[in-house]
Amino acid sequence: MKVLIIGFGNMGKTYANSFISSRFIKPEDIYVMVRSEITMATESIIPKANFSHTATERIADFDIVILAVKPQDFEALAQSVKPYLKDSQIIFSVMAGITLSKLESRLSCSKIVRSMPNIPTQIGMGMTVFTASANVDRKELFIIQNLINTTGKSVYVENEKLIDAATAISGSGPAYVFYFMKSMIKAAVDLGFNESEAELLVNQTFMGSVAIQNSYSLSNEEWITKVASKGGTTERALQVFEKGHLEKTIIEAVKAANDRALELGS
């Protein structure tokens, strides 16, 4: 299997490194196309000869073409690669907001996979939601899911609208977590801990909480009850959350992110 990655930013490099480290694809079978000459090729175990900055008929040689460019660069990219694409190729997009129908019409291809990964894919702990056009068969979907899973975990959805919802949940989600962590670190410093102590307290609390939650089949509500004893310190903190309608605020924030994802795709 030969793969062309168009764009070698964070996601392009993440996929290349994950495919290679998992031994799913050999370095010599991964090709990279970027807008201009780069020196990054010297930092990669992908052969230098596999890097290109122009669209040529060679594009037709690849089984899978991964579009890892910014959405605003898609129109120009489509014009340059469209003449060389074949309908038998699988086009795998990680561009936010670019719909299946738009990809099909601009590229004149019928085998399209659209995905929404998140930033932890860079360390193999990512969450990716993906969907596909009708002409992608089960065997091809299986191959794509195996490729995605080299970067973490994945969920296939038939309803494309859920890609925008995934953007608001798992795509933007790490920023929500970092925001909450930042606030807790600030509170810890205000209570007397130094910055490094505060970061350790909060980071380990988050890591341990996720780990124990994954280790037992208890709901989040049950875990909250276990930690928050009646009349205790945790209960007092939760009462402040409830008074400030924190749960409602979080839900509204996620819905706002979903609305923005829909706007970007229109």
Instruction: Reply yes or no on whether the pLDDT at 43 is more than 70.
Output: no
- Mean pLDDT computed over 14-35: 93
HSE-CB at 44 with a 13 A cutoff on CA atoms is 27
Q: Which of 73, 69, 62, 23 is nearest to 45 (CA)?
A: 23
Query: Measured between alpha carbons, how far is 229 from 223 in angstroms, rounded to an integer?
Result: 11
Query: Coil, helix or strand for 51?
Result: strand
pLDDT digits (tens, 9 = 90+) for 85-128: 999 999 999 998 899 999 999 999 999 999 999 999 999 999 99
Average pLDDT, the chain: 93
| Contact between 40 and 65 (Cβ < 8 Å) | no
pLDDT digits (tens, 9 = 90+) for 210-266: 999 999 999 999 999 999 999 999 999 999 999 999 999 999 999 999 998 888 766
Quote the Cα angle for 206-210-215, to 5°.
145
